[in-house]
A = this chain, B = another copy of it.
Amino acid sequence: MGKGTRGHAQPARRWAAASEEGDVAAVDGRVRRSRDRVLTTAFELLSESGVGGFTVDEVARRSGVAKTTIYRHWPSREALVIDAASRISAEQEVPDTGSLEEDVMAILANLGYLLGTARWSSVVPSIVDVAERDPEFAGIHGRIQRGHAAPLRKVIERAAGRGLISATADPATMVSALIGPLYYRRWFSREPIDDQFVKTIVSNVISSHRATGVRGRGPHA
């Protein structure tokens, strides 16, 4: 498929989310190049200026792709923003060392590192802000969010399946307790996220929820 479908494609629906690439849009080499250049530039601009400072004219200037061409691929500024924002995807591996604590530590250390270096970390606040009022962006935000939490969740649920976690423990609560502090430091308190911090968070959460004969939980009920 691909080339053969050219004649039947509806031009109005030519633009598509980044997730469904490889269909109609990949007809021509030029198309692909333009699309990629625009999307890359758009994502850069998004991380620099946020959703509010994002303009099609600026994308056109930086990418070298004519504004008219951009509008031939995306029906509106919003569509382009959405498409660019959808590039935030984690695609992280799920470690399996046998030790829950080590697995979690690996994931969170990597997350902490990304929060300090990756471009998307400066885009997220914009997404969160817009999502607060725009349902469509709320959907995008939800997907990004679940994507970022997925490896952690998987590791925890796997450990639960293996009986390594207290039966009363709730995986969702553990995820919040683990990721929350890192996000907090990155976007709210703006404190650095060092390994010592991550280690403290991880070991506290894990040990609080460990399933053992010897009660791993503290005193006081």
Contact = CB atoms under 8 A, between A and B. Distances in A.
Chain A interface: which size bin? 35 or more
Given A125-B128, A125-B129, A128-B125, A176 B197 contact: yes
Contact of A50 (B133, B181, B205, B217): B133
- How many protomers of this protein does the assembly include? 2
Contacts of A175: 189
A125 B132 CA distance: 8
Interface in A197-221: 197, 200-201, 203-210, 212, 214, 216-221
Contact of A176 (B51, B170, B189): B189
A190 interface: yes
Interface of A: 48-53, 101, 122, 125-126, 128-130, 132-133, 138, 142, 145, 149, 170, 172-173, 175-177, 179-185, 187-191, 197, 200-201, 203-210, 212, 214, 216-221
